Copies of this chain bind each other. A is one copy, B any other.
Amino acid sequence: DFLVALQEVTPAFGASTDDLERCRINGIVDCGERHSHIYRRTMLLAEQVKVSKGSPLITCLLEGPSGSGKTAMAATIGIESDFPYVKIISAESMIGLSEGSKCAQIVKVFEDAYKSPLSIIILDDIERLIEYVAIGPRFSNLISQTLLVLLKRLPPKGKNVLVIGTTSEVNFLKMIGIRDAFSVTYHIPTLGTEDARKVLQQLKVFSDDDVDSAAEALNDMPIKMLYMVVEMAAQGEQGGEAEAIYSGRQKIKINHFLNC
């Protein structure tokens, strides 16, 4: 059953960069020093995989609050690394599949990767891949076991793989042993005031005078929520102002913004 399912999954080369780009539809802005530091460390791991003698498999987990930019960072590393095989495994493309078929899809990506001398595999939103829900908790043990084994299984001789996982449920992953199956774990934080100011300056929707109080108000927010709040404010109190804001003709009124 499983093997049949495995067969039916057709290999997918090349399409992957598109998938990765979709993870950063707003492009990438500088999110401050803490984000940058993790980015550099993870790029070093990619380099280590390239030259490694004794570690053909390195695994790295990016964890942090929902919307903090984990997937965007993993995608960026995948794109920048210039590895011949880069693939993101995400629940989006497996909606409604049975546990067994999901396993087959995941295994397939690893098998494909083993054919390339250098690969990056992104396991996006691991809690969603394993169908986690806090009540119970419930999750797919079949998929969990598959991940536990894949995170330890060495690629064939001469093939090197970097696996990047993302999650906003790191405590749960720890409980089921998946966090400790990764070689290293990095925490992607929300934006501090300083980080938020940097982001706002790049967005150019506030007048220079208002950036500081806006950043103060957005302190400790994930970047995703920052975008949402700014966009709601850009509508204006009665709607209809968005175009003027985005075209740069107008700035967001700081008082309206602070009420959002």
Which A positions have Cβ atoms within 8 angstroms of B?
1-3, 6, 22, 25-26, 44-45, 47-48, 51-56, 66, 91-92, 95-98, 100, 103-104, 107, 128, 131, 133-135, 137-139, 141-142, 144-146, 148-150, 152-154, 175-177, 180, 183, 227-228, 231-232, 235, 239-240, 242-243, 246
Known: A47-B239, A227-B54, A231-B52. A149 touches B128 (CB 8 A): yes
Among residues of B, the one whose C-beta sits closest to the C-beta of A237 is: B44
The contact sample of 12 A-B pairs, CB cut-off 8 A, is A1-B98, A6-B96, A25-B54, A47-B235, A47-B239, A48-B231, A51-B242, A55-B231, A66-B180, A134-B176, A135-B176, A138-B141
Give how many copies assemble into the complex. 6
* Contact A133 B55, beta carbon cutoff 8 Å: no
Q: Contacts A54-B25, A103-B96, A242-B48; is A135 near B133 (CB within 8 Å)?
A: no
Chain B residues whose CB sits within 8 angstroms of the CB of A246 once the complex forms: 53
Residue from B51, B104, B176, B232 within 8 A of A96 (CB atoms): B104
Contact assessment for A235 and B144 in the assembled complex, using a CB-CB cutoff below 8 Å = no
Distance of A257 from chain B, by nearest CB (Å): 14
- Measured between beta carbons, the chain B residues less than 8 angstroms from A176 are 133-135
Contacts of A55 in B (CB 8 A): 227-228, 231
Least Cβ–Cβ distance between A231 and chain B, in angstroms: 6
Shortest distance between the CB of A76 and any CB in chain B (Å)? 17
Q: How far is the CA of A103 from the CA of B94 in the complex (A)?
A: 12
Q: Are A96 and B2 closer than 8 Å at their CB atoms?
A: yes
Is the pair A47, B240 in contact by a Cβ cutoff of 8 Å? yes
